A and B are shown apart, each in its own frame.
Chain A
């Protein structure tokens, strides 16, 4: 899961 940085970042972003 560490590899999925973009998905992780997009989910953490508000909105």
Chain B
């Protein structure tokens, strides 16, 4: 219940109508959207029961490792009702052709693989919010100071997922495990996204806001 209540509001992409359609415009729109979502995701993290009890340093380490997984999982969940399209925002839905034009086809394909996996399972909102919190707590940062405290957070979230599945999906005792088994694909997809946006940053043709840049740099 607390995780459902902590879910951030929807964000609009608002592509700049003054810019002509181009790969730069698409990437500028996505980077701006990501930056605004990141601000919301940081305040979301603070509402995860137990997260704010971690040291500030460990909170930072978890977010620096998992920020892109959180963004990707949110896009994947939003895209569940869409056919082969990614719903980056209600006003920004991207098909393969548009992704290709923006140089994002590989990433688009990878995120859709994740969407299909969740669609097959009919991922529910309750499972999505819990899995997202698990991805954050389980981000495998190499800089964690209080490993036991982070383990405690992982255990509490894992327990919440098991409880939910026990009550709502007693017909499939392996459902929680199946959900956890999607996390490697999420990690892989997120790493792809970070690499791609790092190379866009190197090119220097797309304006990026400071928080997005700061977190991209944390992953280099």
Contact = CB atoms under 8 A, between A and B. Distances in A.
B64 A7 contact: yes
Interface stretch (B55-63, B121-129, B165-173): B55-63
A7 B215 contact: yes
Contacts of A11: 42, 46, 56, 59-60, 63
A5 B214 contact: yes
Contact of B43 (A1, A5, A6, A15): A15
Interface string A1-15: 101111110111101
Interface residues of B, number: 17
A6 B64 CA distance: 12
B210 A7 contact: no
A4 B39 CA distance: 14
B46 A4 contact: no
Given A10-B39, A15-B43, A15-B46, A4 B214 contact: yes
A15 to B, nearest CB: 6
B90 interface: no
B217 interface: yes
Contacts of A5: 214
Contacts of B46: 11, 15
Given A4-B218, A5-B214, A10-B39, 17 more contacts: A1-B57, A1-B60, A1-B143, A3-B214, A4-B60, A4-B64, A6-B210, A6-B211, A7-B42, A7-B64, A7-B214, A8-B60, A10-B43, A11-B56, A11-B60, A11-B63, A15-B43
Interface of B: 39, 42-43, 46, 56-57, 59-60, 63-64, 143, 210-211, 214-215, 217-218
Interface of A: 1, 3-8, 10-13, 15
